[in-house]
Amino acid sequence: MPASERRGGAQPAATAQRLEIRLSGSGGQGIILAATVLADAFVASGKEVVQTQSYGPEARGGASKAEIIVSDSEIDYPEVIFPDLTLCLSQPAFDKYAYETKPGGLVVYDEQLVIASPVEGVRLVGVPCARLAEERLGKVVVANVVALGALLRLAKLSGPEPVREALRRRLPARLLELNLKAVAVGMEATRRVKAEAAARR
């Protein structure tokens, strides 16, 4: 279905300065933390930012999403229209949200947890976030931050330092080192993804 038909009613047009991001998954996957860290990083970089979130009917296991709007100027419409970037860490999240991504946009998904189907006009990239978190770091719980590291590179959002600083502000010291490593693992994973894409050309 074309993006223009996926929502009812007239919506304001997106501008070149406005970036819309939707992170989605299941309750307990740390979607909200990833979004607040990313929003914090954008704020520290001098951007105008709106960040919202919603939970499913269950604290763990239910659907959840968090949305971020980033702009160089004042944000006059604080709701996501069509995301430029969508992260999906579960199959239900992909099935519900991937198809709302703006044509020309990017969907990043956990290739171990999601069977992706084509989305017209949208680039799809799979990254094994949960597997990397478990194998490289011994903690699947940081798959959300591995995904965040991958997004930084794949979507060219920023360098890693603003996100690292946001993690330092938001996490207790006992969790910080693990999460800083998770950012690095996610960024490193994109090198394999890009190499495989280049080999298919």
Q: What pLDDT digit, counting tens, does each position of 132-180 carry?
A: 999 999 999 999 999 999 999 999 988 899 999 999 999 999 999 999 9
Domains of the chain are 16-200 (3.40.920.10)
H runs (alpha helix) in 62-160: 91-97, 129-137, 143-154
pLDDT score, position 63:
67
Task: Give the residue-averaged pLDDT of 15-37.
Answer: 89
Q: What is the token pair recorded at 78?
A: 């604080």
H runs (alpha helix) in the chain: 31-44, 91-97, 129-137, 143-154, 161-170, 173-200
**What is the Cα–Cα distance from 77 to 51, expressed in whole angstroms?**
12
Task: Give the residue-averaged pLDDT of 29-47.
Answer: 94
User: What pTM value is reported for the model?
Assistant: 0.86
Q: Name 135's Cβ contacts closer than 8 Å, sequence gap at least 6.
A: none
Task: Give the residue-averaged pLDDT of 39-57.
Answer: 88
- pLDDT, tens only, 82-118: 999 999 999 999 999 999 999 999 999 999 999 999 9
Distances (CA, A) of 99 to 51, 81, 177, 199: 21, 13, 35, 27
pLDDT over threshold 80, residue 195: no
- CB 125 within 8 Å of CB 168: no
Q: Name 51's Cβ contacts closer than 8 Å, sequence gap at least 6.
A: 35, 36, 39, 66, 67, 68, 69
Q: Answer with the residue of higher pLDDT: 189 or 196.
A: 189
pLDDT over threshold 90, residue 64: no
Q: Name 121's Cβ contacts closer than 8 Å, sequence gap at least 6.
A: 3, 103, 104
Q: What is the token pair recorded at 146?
A: 């591995």
Cα four-point dihedral sign 131, 139, 60, 129: negative
pLDDT bracket for residue 28 (50, 70, 90)? confident
Task: Give the residue-averaged pLDDT of 64-92.
Answer: 94
pLDDT score, position 15:
42
